[in-house]
Amino acid sequence: MPPHTPRKSPNQSPLAATRAARAKSPWRKIAKRKWPNAEWIYGDGKYVTVATCGCTSVTLHETKEKAEKAKKYIDECGCGHACNSRRDRPSPKHQLIDLSYDQ
């Protein structure tokens, strides 16, 4: 194995490897800086759905289509107990953001 190839620990599970890779994501770092008080930041990608009805939750998506689908879902169903979103009137506290424009 060449010296520049990272070695995977023999005891590291695939889930731990995935979590470690996500933790190093530049998009997650940007999201953590932008929303330092978020209850949770999940996923990876430059497209973000943010819900701030009560606590702040941030979900990163790899494609704009996935982010739009997620936003449509929280607009229609709500994002939690403090959400006032309805099908006919989505909450203004639900946002879709492209982090590549928002650095």
Assess if residue 86 is contained within a domain.
Answer: yes
Strand 40-43 versus strand 57-61 pairing type: parallel
Assess if residue 85 is contained within a domain.
Answer: yes
Assess if residue 72 is contained within a domain.
Answer: yes
Strand 47-51 versus strand 57-61 pairing type: antiparallel
Assess if residue 5 is contained within a domain.
Answer: no
Assess if residue 70 is contained within a domain.
Answer: yes
Give yes or no for a contact between 46 and 98, defined as CB atoms under 8 angstroms apart.
yes
**pLDDT at residue 97 above 70?**
yes
Assess if residue 92 is contained within a domain.
Answer: yes
Assess if residue 11 is contained within a domain.
Answer: no
Give the chain's domain count.
Answer: 1
| pTM recorded for the entire structure | 0.71
pLDDT tens for each residue of 8-51:
556 667 666 666 655 667 999 999 999 999 998 999 999 999 98
